[in-house]
Amino acid sequence: MGETIPATMRAIGFDLPGGPDVLQQVELAVPVVGEGQVLVKVAYAGVNRPDVIQRMGHYPPPPGASPIPGLEIAGDIVALGSSVDPALLGQRVCALVTGGGYAEYCLAQAGHCLPVPEGVSLAEAAALPETLFTVWHNVFERGWAREGETLLVHGGTSGIGSMAIKLGKLFGLTVIVTCGSDAKCLAARELGADHAINYRTADFVEEVRMLTGGTGAELVLDMVAGDYTPRNLACLAEDGRLVVIAVLGGARSELNLAQLMMRRHTITGSTLRSRSDLFKALLAEEIRLNVWDLVATGELAPAMDMCFPLREAGEAHARMEAGEHIGKIVLEI
């Protein structure tokens, strides 16, 4: 017998875009599971920068996605849609979702779920999918990172930055990060970064060139864009790759294309939320084959910052916006 599923659930929503205070606990109908989907009784949900941007009104969910914030969850599967393997019922999983994570129940595509290994807490599991999927795809699939190369990551103590450090080191990269304070630089080195640059007190372009003996980094993972873009290109070695995953510093940049041509640089980027279900299922399988054993053995674990109860989602967002967090913020449902 499966678990009795209630008709309604607690969730976090907002009527109008605004600051963290617009987030309110509401009561909504439990979503109905569809073909290829599972219903997860959520134990924890990860808090990510896209959730904040959505709350501000700048990142609407894609068509058909839940308007409730939350892009990653962990919990127990309590209902299955048609064509889903019956063996999944009752499994502890974490999942990448297109929305709906800040709730007691959330729909996920069965192919976007990964089993939570024994010894990994559900809080840690909820902190994995968004950053792990993003870093794996952008550093290794789009950025073509190879063992022995140097990776520059901006925002070294963010959820993405901390995952890039950990994953980069496990796959043989030298990792340089930028941070906004000496304390964060120290935290980044404790997470495993080879070098950490305080961008408020040093020119990261000069520092990267010095740290690489003048050759530059083979790969830059950037979430700033704007006026960082030409500086990122100046950090790159010949044939280097710049991968943009957010535009927190602005969506427009001015480039010297002659320099790009002469040094044979590649610029690419991606967003994950709007990609097809098939693409994300294939990415989940790549991660299961290449990375998930490292999670199971404890070699790869998320850097955890703070856990807030669901009703304090606004406080969780305020902490993220203050920029004081190191690693992942999660909500306990």
Beta strands of 223-291 (E only): which ranges? 236-244, 266-269
Please enumerate in sequence order all residues whose Cβ is within 8 A of that of 227, keeping only pairs 6 or more positions apart, or say none: 249, 250, 253
Over residues 106-151, the pLDDT tens digits come to 999 999 999 999 999 999 999 999 999 999 999 999 999 999 999 9
Q: Write out pLDDT tens, residues 248-304.
A: 899 999 999 999 999 999 999 999 999 999 999 999 999 999 999 999 999 999 999
Distance CA 240, CA 132 (A): 23
Distances (CA, A) of 62 to 24, 46, 258: 22, 19, 37
Q: Are 36 and 111 in contact (CB under 8 A)?
A: yes
Pairing of strands 236-244, 217-222: parallel
**Of 219, 254, 269, which one is at a domain's C-terminal end?**
269
- Residue 151 and residue 167 in one domain: yes
Mean pLDDT throughout 29-50? Answer: 97
Which residue, 253, 269, 285, sits at the end of a domain? 269
Q: How many Å apart are CA 273 and CA 312, to the nearest integer?
A: 24
In a domain, 86, yes or no: yes
H or E segment to which residue 43 belongs: strand 37-47
Q: What local confidence, expressed as pLDDT, does residue 2 receive?
A: 61
The percentage of residues in the chain with a pLDDT greater than 90, rounded to a whole number, is 98
**Residues 135 and 265 grouped into a single domain:** yes
End-of-domain residue from the set 250, 269, 288: 269
Task: Find the CATH number of the domain harbouring 69.
Answer: 3.90.180.10
**Contact, 103 vs 42, CB < 8 A?**
yes
Residue 3 confidence (pLDDT): 76
- Domain co-membership, 245 together with 321: no
Count of structural domains within the chain:
2
Q: What six digits make up the tokens of 292? A: 């998930």
Q: Which ranges of 192-240 would DSSP assign to H, the alpha helix?
A: 204-211, 228-235
Please determine, for residue 1, whether its predicted confidence score (pLDDT) is greater than 90.
no
Region 90-116: what's the mean pLDDT?
Answer: 98
Boundaries of domain holding 210: 131-269
Q: Are residues 107 and 208 in the same domain?
A: no
Task: For 306, list phi and psi in degrees, rounded to 5.
Answer: -135, 155
What's the rounded mean pLDDT across residues 204-219?
Answer: 98
pLDDT of residue 272: 93
Token pair of 54 as six digits: 């959505």
Angle at alpha carbon of residue 89, lines to 85 and 91, rounded to 5°: 110
> Does 171 fall in a domain?
yes
Angle at 49 between CA 268 and CA 20, to 5 degrees: 150
Report if residue 2 sits inside a domain. Answer: no
66 shares a domain with 39: yes
| Average per-residue pLDDT for the chain | 96
Same domain, 71 and 176: no
In a domain, 286, yes or no: yes
**207 has a pLDDT exceeding 90:** yes
pLDDT digits (tens, 9 = 90+) for 152-191: 999 999 999 999 999 999 999 999 999 999 999 999 999 9
Domain for residue 3, yes or no? no
CATH of the domain at 231: 3.40.50.720
> HSE (CB half, 13 Å, CA atoms) of 31?
27
pTM for the model stands at: 0.95
Q: Residue 85: what pLDDT?
A: 96
Are 327 and 130 in contact, with CB atoms under 8 Å apart?
A: no
Counting Cα atoms < 13 Å in the Cβ hemisphere of 192 gives 23
